[in-house]
Amino acid sequence: MFVSWELLKDFIELDVSPEEAAERLTLSGTEVESITRTAGKLKSVVVAKIEALENHPSDGHLLVAHLDSGGSHSHVCITSAKNVKQGDLVFYARAGSVLPDGMELGMRDFSGVRSDGMMLSAAELGLPDVDSPDGLLVLPPDAPVGTEASALYHIGDTILDVSITPNRGDLLSTLGIARELRGLFPHSTLTLPYWLRPLEQEKAWTEKFGAISLPDEGCLCYRLGLATGAKMGPSPLTARIDLSHLGMRPIVNAVDVTNYIMLTLGQPLHAFDLGTLPAREITVRAAHEGEIMTTLDGRERVLTPRDMLITSGGEAIALAGVMGGQQTGINDDTQTVVVESACFSPVRVGHTSRRLGIGSEAAFRFARTVDPTLSRTALSAALKLMRDWCGAVVDYRPLAAENEFPAPRSVTLTKKKLSTYLSWGNMDEATKIIEGFGIKHTFGGGDERTFLPPTWRPDIAIEEDLIEEVGRFRGYNDAPSRLPGELPHRADAGGPTHLAAFVRQTLIARGYVEVMTYSFLPEDFPSRLRLPGDDLRAHPLMLANPISRDQTAMRTTLVPGLLMSLRATLASGWRGPVRVFEQGRTFLRKAIDSPDHVETDRVAGLVFNGSDPRTPWKGQEEDFYSVKADVAALIEGRGFRPIFVPGQEPFTHTGQTAEIRIAADSGESQRIGWLARLKPALEQELDVSGPVCLFELDLQPLEEAKRPALHPSSPFPASLRDISLLVAADRNQDDVAADIAAAVREAAQAEGTDSHGEILESLRLFDVYAGKGIPEGFRSMAYSLSYRLQDRTLRDEEVEAIHGRVRESLSQRGYSIR
């Protein structure tokens, strides 16, 4: 937000430089990002009067002006501008003068007539929006001849670019910054410009007008002021320059008044042409589903019930707190103006602004909370400026309607907590500091005192907020340093933190780069991922007050963030390989229609070979199997055995998708994630030229690492046998593998030998085949079995006996032995 130092002087008497004020603001938490001198390098440009104006003797397109700049002799200046006449006052830059952009002027010959410098337009002064670009800037008739331009009309202003935190909506105005400086500089004094003095408003409206009704409680208050006999035209030059410096384009005096009040007081206003209202009444209500209105920018907006409308006679004339309607705007013929001064719910206005992509100055302020008691003062000030700038009659009693205002709540400050946070506990001094920021001390003394925040400080809600005010004033750099006391016992970071560190270390060691993406996603991300309606991931939790229209839903998977990261990386011109991972939390409903949800810590990775595939190392590009090795290393590093079985995800390649499981001691397995190549159609949408491989794992099952069990190796040789089975193709391969493992381990005991215990050392699936030679509807699964004892060598007849029991056990379970 831009703050004018010249306007600030109207609100506070402050004996410091802009640089000193900026430093104090920054150290207190309100960062001043830059300081700009609006006059730039302007030098020796003065007010001059056109004493005579005549045609150029040889060029009919030019005029010769004789100027009085307050010196002992006049100056001759050539111009092609047609908007000036004898007696006008203009800004004149004689030879040797310097313009704001650093250009130095000199003498110039125009067809035999020498021009001593030039007369200036608004654009040449660095103020293109202040006046028409087709002519010179004509000054008011009371402009003092010979006076430097930088000393007039706030041309030589100093602008502070201030970064306002979202909780300090009260600082989005000149008045708000003045209050903040009053608290930071205790010897300063707040003042009021003349137009903030109370306005006499006793007359009844000359225009018949009905009621104002507020059925939507999102409108806290709504006031209307009347201005009759207004003459539309340009605003005073100083006001136009102020608006331009503060980033607003001057339009017409009646509209400029509303913008001026918003920038100086922080209260957004809106001006309607009374003659264009559909009816002489105002209603603030929720929009109907699918209702359409055309805003001032000429665009049709489709609305929802969460949007608030200002209506007249049932017709929408403005989006409450966001933008006015096209049909009721001020035009050149407007004579009767009604000025709206209202306060709207920050949540409702913020939602509408983000959903429709309308980032208006009014919406920016309402979304950060506007003082509901300010509307009366702002309306009075706006009407007074309407009188001065438009020549309007404004002494009519305002019309008003109100809903319940949120009342400020008292907050108690204790010496104990103040000392704990700041290592300083002077309660009397703390009270002076807090009251300097407009927060009133209402009760108590000694070590416990109660304060009442003003209506413009809704951010003061708890004791820590009061302590922050004291800390901001005193400066955190001055707080004494302290060493922490001895800890009673050694702390532990905890399982999740240790696991996150392990995942990070493992994946970085394998060439990945960690990224962090937003937990908020666009509302349509489920449809982009082709998630079906019965998938819980397709029903994200929606934010009540999203920070932007593209961040309205809580993520149910980490995949969209990684895909958006890849797209941004490629758009920046990166052509090399991309190997990234993210650890983060996902938010999944417990049921499709349930408001309850579970939060799960997950890790996801993305691998892409790059848009430039050229490499001298052929055959070493990343693929599904290299990423599978990365996932296996991650799981095995936690002491678990990974199992990869065919799987399916809506957004992945059908033939290159695996379900990831981990084996348990019981022989069963647990699903913890998936590994896949992205669906080719989605790869095309990302505009990538090669495969994109992804994986996502649930971290909770890996939190408690399995310690490896050390078993001494047997000095005796193993006996190896293979077995091949026919399995129905429609059975789940993972279920079949678990069933076979249980049957084999049960049958392969050392009974019948002179040794006891487990004789089956390992069982490994080495082939799965379906096709020629295999009956239709079946697939072949081949296993390798290793038999071994710890204390002696197995005899062949023992192995054959045990292996025979294994085959018999499998046959009894319905498997056909090949």
Torsions phi, psi for 327 (to 5 deg): -80, -20
CA distance 94 to 77: 9
CA distance 656 to 692: 11
- Please give the pLDDT value at position 755: 47
Within the chain, which residues score under 70 in pLDDT? Answer: 487, 613-615, 617-620, 665-667, 734, 749-757
Beta bridge partners of 599: 587
Question: CA angle, corner 765, sides to 760 and 768, nearest 5?
Answer: 150
* pLDDT tens digits along 402-437: 998 888 899 999 999 999 898 888 999 999 999 999
3-state SS class at 622: coil
In the DSSP assignment, the letter for residue 128 is: T
* pLDDT tens digits along 472-481: 999 877 777 7
DSSP-derived pairing of the beta strands 778-787 and 760-769: antiparallel
3-state SS class at 126: coil
Question: CA angle, corner 363, sides to 294 and 251, nearest 5?
Answer: 65
CA distance 383 to 391: 11
541 Cα distance to chain centroid: 18
Output the CA–CA distances (angstroms, integers) from residue 355 to 386, 429, 634, in the order listed: 34, 46, 41
Q: Where are the alpha helices (DSSP H) in 447-573?
A: 463-474, 495-509, 525-528, 559-571
Q: Which residues contact 657 (CB under 8 A, 6 or more apart)?
A: 646, 647, 648, 649, 674, 675, 676, 677
Beta bridge partners of 549: none
Q: Are 559 and 657 in contact (CB under 8 A)?
A: no
Residue type, 558: L
Q: Are 12 and 191 in contact (CB under 8 A)?
A: yes
Q: Which residues contact 3 (CB under 8 A, 6 or more apart)?
A: 159, 160, 161, 162, 174, 177, 246
- Please give the pLDDT value at position 644: 87
- CA-based R_g, the chain, Å: 39
Residue type, 270: H
**Domains detected in the chain:** 2-38+158-191 (3.30.56.10), 43-151 (2.40.50.140), 212-402 (3.50.40.10), 411-474 (3.30.56.10), 495-702 (3.30.930.10), 719-817 (3.30.70.380)
Helices H, strands E: what count in the chain?
18, 39
Residue 210: name the closest of 312, 280, 314 by CA.
280
Q: Which residues contact 764 (CB under 8 A, 6 or more apart)?
A: 783, 784, 786
Q: Where are the alpha helices (DSSP H) in 673-795?
A: 680-686, 733-747
3-state SS class at 299: coil
Output the CA–CA distances (angstroms, integers) from residue 639 to 499, 633, 671, 704, in the order listed: 12, 10, 16, 9
**327-332, Cβ contacts within 8 angstroms, sequence gap of 24 or more:** 327/276, 327/294, 328/272, 328/273, 328/276, 328/277, 329/272, 329/273, 329/276, 329/296, 330/232, 330/252, 330/254, 330/255, 330/271, 330/272, 330/273, 331/232, 331/273, 332/232, 332/252
3-state SS class at 567: helix
Q: By percentage, how much of the chain surpasses pLDDT 90?
A: 66
Output the CA–CA distances (angstroms, integers) from residue 540 to 524, 549, 711, in the order listed: 10, 15, 48
Q: Which residues contact 184 (CB under 8 A, 6 or more apart)?
A: 24, 25, 28, 436, 473
Residue 531: name the closest of 650, 683, 676, 647 by CA.
650
Q: Count of CB atoms within 10 A of residue 711's CB? A: 7
Residue 362: name the closest of 391, 322, 328, 327 by CA.
322
Copy the structure tokens of residue 345: 């719910």
- Please give the pLDDT value at position 617: 64
**DSSP strand E in 196-336: where?**
212-213, 219-227, 269-273, 282-286, 292-294, 300-302, 308-312, 315-319, 323-324
Copy the structure tokens of residue 267: 């209260």
Q: Count of CB atoms within 10 A of residue 597's CB? A: 18
Q: By percentage, how much of the chain surpasses pLDDT 70?
A: 97
Residue 449: name the closest of 478, 474, 433 by CA.
433
* pLDDT tens digits along 1-56: 999 999 999 999 999 999 999 999 999 999 999 999 999 999 999 999 999 999 99
Copy the structure tokens of residue 697: 């794992």
Copy the structure tokens of residue 712: 């001494």
- Please give the pLDDT value at position 752: 45
Q: Count of CB atoms within 10 A of residue 87's CB? A: 11
Helix, strand, coil share of the chain (percent; to 5): 25, 30, 45
- H or E element that contains 812: helix 796-812
CA distance 448 to 124: 60
- Please give the pLDDT value at position 613: 67
Burial class of residue 218, CB neighbours in 10 A (0-12, 13-18, 19+): buried
pTM, to two decimals: 0.72
3-state SS class at 791: coil
Q: Are 341 and 233 in contact (CB under 8 A)?
A: no
Residue 547: name the closest of 364, 371, 305, 406 by CA.
364
- H or E element that contains 262: helix 253-265
CA within 13 Å, CB half, 265 = 26
Q: Count of CB atoms within 10 A of residue 408's CB? A: 18
Beta bridge partners of 293: 301
Beta bridge partners of 544: none
CA distance 320 to 286: 10
